[in-house]
């Protein structure tokens, strides 16, 4: 029994936070710069001497890269909603999962590792709603230190400053979950049925990481190849190849590189290519601009004939079923 003068409290609930990478608030140069500064200051993302890196970042990169990045975001920005596709689809995922759950003591919300809404703000929001238990679902199917681990770091930093901490459970990866693989295969088959040509090859393009991260023990490379292998087992009539995109800086990254592969394929007689980006839970600048615009142009200019991209799982039914299942197994 609670005493009369006891401060009002809420308790007994579970909060689930789905978390993606992040997005600038707008395509404005200053918003882009602010977002890049936070992202590229993360020592999980850039593993070099922090003093040297901050000089390079602040004197050079943050003075020149925002213009290039802003141009890319302007190509894919959702003008009617005035938000990025990543934010739009993550919000939709949260809403649809919430609507599909029958347990009224479970609250679903979303956050971004960089930018808004922040992980800290959403954890505090869920705590005020009486969530004594917290489940974190990073929307990265293939674990990497630069993605999943840095989400965990930010969650831990927030909890360290809380007097009444919730219990914590993290879903670290789901690269081989049957519901995930089936969702990807279904999306590929749907796209194949929509196009008027037959792919010679499917490119499974994952975000790259520097090779030295793999050499230090990061399992990301292995998880990506595992996902591709499981997809290929269900698509026996079309060959599928793993590549890595979005490299940054002069050092070697995981290979083969997506852009170089696409440039060389027409010379090898592969002129009809379908791409999919299994590591991205939502369409974003890396898929819509880097692959659907840049990579397509490069492939066609190199002698390719047909190119298309399978949309990310976004808020489609298969994806919502997967995410709901992952959550229900962990609450």
Q: What pLDDT, in 10s, does the model give residues 24-82?
A: 999 999 999 999 999 999 999 999 999 999 999 999 999 999 999 999 999 999 999 99
Outline which parts of the chain fall under CATH 3.40.50.1400: 13-173+318-328, 178-309
Q: Model's pTM, two decimal places?
A: 0.96
Closest CA to 175 of 214, 136, 217, 221: 221
CATH topology of domain 178-309: Rossmann fold (3.40.50)
Architecture of domain 13-173+318-328: 3-Layer(aba) Sandwich (3.40)
- The residues, ordered by sequence, that sit 6+ positions from 302 with a Cβ below 8 Å of its Cβ are 262, 263, 264, 265, 266, 267
Q: Which residues have a Cβ under 8 Å from the Cβ of 243 and sit 6 or more positions away? A: 203, 204, 205, 206, 256, 257, 258, 261
Contact 119, 158 (CB under 8 A): yes
At 133 the three-state DSSP class reads strand
Structure token pair of residue 255:
């290979």
Q: Confidence band (pLDDT; 50, 70, 90) for 7?
A: confident
Reading phi first (left if > 0) and then psi (alpha if -120 to 50, else beta), residue 176 is in alpha
Selection from 10, 31, 9 nearest residue 22 by Cα: 31
- Residue 10 — pLDDT band, cuts 50, 70, 90? confident
The tens digit of pLDDT for each residue in 259-288 reads 999 999 999 999 999 999 999 999 999 999
Distance between CA atoms of residues 258 and 247, nearest Å: 10
pLDDT of residue 300: 98
What's the pLDDT at 2? 58
Of 288, 259, 253, 255, which Cα lies nearest the Cα of 273? 259
Q: Compute the distance between CA of residue 198 and CA of residue 287 in angstroms, rounded to an integer.
A: 21
């Amino acid at each position: 029994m609670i005493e009369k003068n006891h401060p009002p409290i809420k308790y007994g609930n579970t909060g689930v936070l789905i978390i993606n990478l992040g997005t600038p608030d707008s395509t404005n140069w200053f918003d882009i710069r602010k977002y890049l500064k936070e992202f590229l200051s993360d020592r999980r993302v850039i593993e070099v001497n922090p003093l040297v890196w901050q000089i390079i970042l602040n004197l050079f990169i943050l003075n020149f890269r925002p213009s290039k990045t802003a141009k890319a975001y302007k190509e894919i920005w959702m003008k009617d909603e005035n938000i990025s596709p990543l934010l739009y689809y993550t919000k939709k995922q949260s809403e649809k999962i919430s609507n599909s759950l029958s347990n009224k003591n479970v609250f679903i919300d979303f956050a971004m590792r960089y930018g808004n809404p922040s992980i800290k703000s959403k954890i505090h929001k869920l705590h005020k709603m009486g969530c004594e238990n917290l489940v974190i679902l990073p929307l990265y199917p293939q674990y990497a230190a630069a993605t999943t681990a840095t989400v965990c770091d930010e969650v831990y930093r927030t909890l360290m400053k809380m007097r009444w901490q919730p219990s914590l459970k993290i879903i670290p990866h789901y690269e081989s979950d049957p519901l995930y693989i089936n969702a990807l295969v279904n999306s590929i088959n749907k796209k194949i049925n929509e196009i008027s040509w037959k792919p010679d090859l499917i490119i499974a393009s994952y975000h790259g990481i520097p090779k030295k991260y793999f050499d230090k023990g990061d399992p990301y490379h292995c998880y990506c190849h595992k996902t591709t292998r499981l997809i290929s087992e269900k698509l026996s009539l079309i060959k599928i190849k793993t590549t890595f995109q979005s490299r940054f800086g002069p050092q070697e990254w995981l290979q083969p590189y997506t852009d170089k592969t696409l440039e060389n394929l027409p010379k090898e007689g592969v002129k009809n290519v379908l791409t999919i980006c299994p590591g991205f839970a939502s369409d974003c600048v890396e898929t819509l601009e880097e692959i659907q615009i840049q990579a397509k142009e490069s492939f066609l200019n190199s002698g390719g004939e047909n190119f298309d991209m399978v949309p990310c799982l976004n808020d489609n039914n298969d994806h919502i079923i997967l995410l709901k299942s992952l959550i229900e197994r962990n609450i």
